Amino acid sequence: MRSNVLDYNLIAPPTLDAALALLSEGAHTPIAGGTELMVALNTGRLQQRSLLSIQHLQELRFIHVDDTAIHIGAGSTFTDIRNHPEIARDLPLLIQSASWTGTIANQNRATLGGNLCNASPAADTPPALLCYSASVTLVSSTGSRTLPYPDFHLSYKSTALRPDELLHSVTVPRPPANARQSIRKVGTRNALAISKVALAGLAVVEDSRLRHIRLGAASLADRPLRLVATEAALQGHSLAPAHLDATLRWARAALAAEIHPIDDIRSTAAYRRAVAANLLEDLLRSLAS
Ligand SMILES: Cc1cc2nc3c(=O)[nH]c(=O)nc-3n(C[C@H](O)[C@H](O)[C@H](O)COP(=O)(O)OP(=O)(O)OC[C@H]3O[C@@H](n4cnc5c(N)ncnc54)[C@H](O)[C@@H]3O)c2cc1C
C-alpha cells in the first residue's frame, strides 16, 4: 500500500555539522538523492518516519584529485562522476558502472554514497571500488574514521555505519599506470536492469604473468564481494598461450570455492555460478590479449 507523505517528517539542516548534530541526538534516516528511499516510501516499505535531507550539503558533493588518489564526496551524483575528466582517465570501471546505474534522470539525482549505503549486493559501483582498493571515510559529530571499503559491507544490506554517522567520502588510489582494467555486467537488458552478476577486474601483466590482480563482484554473495581468495590463487600465474588453459581452469576452481550466490527473483544460484566463471574467463582472456 502507498504511504501517506503526511506521516513523514523531513528536516534539511543547512550544514554538515548541523546534520551530524541532529543524527547524534536521535533516530533520523539520511536521504540523499532519494532514488532508493522514495521507491520504498511509495510502496509503503519505508518504516523510518524522520528523514534528514543531505542532498543539498555541498560539504559532501566534491571531487578532489591529488597525486596519489581521487577523493569523491558521498553526495556526488553519477552525472558528476561521469563528467569528471580525471575519473574518466584513471577509473574507467567507475565511469562504466556509473553509466549503468538507472537512467540519465536517475544519474542526475542518485549519489555514490546512496549506492554504497543502500548496501545491495547487486549494486553497480561496488565491484569497481573493490577492484580499486578504495577506502571510505565516515563522519559523526565526534570525529571521523576511515575504513578499507571491503570492511564497510558487513552482511546483506548491513554496513559498518553507526546511526550517528554519515558516509563522507570515498578515496580511490590511482591504479598503476600499466594496469589493465575490465568490467562486465549481466542483466535482463543492457540498460535499466539490476545485475544478475557483475565482475570487475584490474591487473598488471608482466612477462605474461598476472601481478597485482584485483577482482570485485556483485550478486555472488550476500554483499558486494572482493574475491581475495581467487586473486591470491591467480597471482603470478601465466597468461602465455601455452599456459592459458591451465590458468583458466585454476581460476574457475578458485572462484567456485569462493562465491556464495543465491536464488532470488532475478536469477538462480546455478546460473550465477556459471556466468561468473565465464565472466572471469573472458576477463583473463582480455588481459592476455
Ligand atoms: C528507476 C531506478 C533504476 C535504478 N537502477 C539502478 C541500477 O541500475 N544500479 C544500481 O546500483 N542502482 C540502481 N537504482 C538504485 C539507486 O538509484 C542507487 O542505489 C542510488 O545510487 C541511490 O542513491 P541515492 O542518493 O538516491 O540514495 P537514497 O535513496 O537517498 O539513500 C539510499 C540509502 O543510503 C543512505 N544514505 C544515502 N547517503 C548517505 C550518506 N552519505 N551517509 C549515510 N547514509 C546515506 C540512506 O539513508 C538510504 O538508506 C535504481 C533506482 C531507480 C529508482
Cell of 240: 602465455
> Is ligand 1 within 6 A of the CB of residue 107?
no
> Is ligand 1 within 6 A of the CB of residue 29?
yes
248: pLDDT strictly greater than 70: yes
Query: Could you report the per-residue pLDDT of 7-63, keeping only the tens digit for each?
Result: 899 999 999 999 999 999 988 999 999 999 999 998 888 988 999 999 999 999 999
Amino acid at 36: E
Q: Could you identify the residue written with the cell 539490476? A: 194
Cell of 52: 534528514
How many whole angstroms separate alpha carbon 252 and alpha carbon 277?
Answer: 6
Query: Could you report the per-residue pLDDT of 148-190, keeping only the tens digit for each?
Result: 999 999 999 999 999 999 999 999 999 999 999 999 999 887 6
pTM assigned to the model:
0.96
Instruction: Classify 257 in phi/psi space as left (phi over 0), alpha (psi -120 to 50) or beta.
Output: alpha
> Is ligand 1 within 6 A of the CB of residue 106?
yes
How many whole angstroms separate alpha carbon 110 and alpha carbon 123?
Answer: 12
How many whole angstroms separate alpha carbon 43 and alpha carbon 197?
Answer: 26
2: pLDDT strictly greater than 90: no
Q: Which atom of ligand 1 is nearest to the CA of 30?
A: 47
33 alpha carbon to ligand 1 midpoint, in Å?
7
Contact 64, 167 (CB under 8 A): no
Contact 202, 132 (CB under 8 A): yes
In terms of Cα–Cα distance, which of 166, 163, 164, 90 is closest to 132? 90
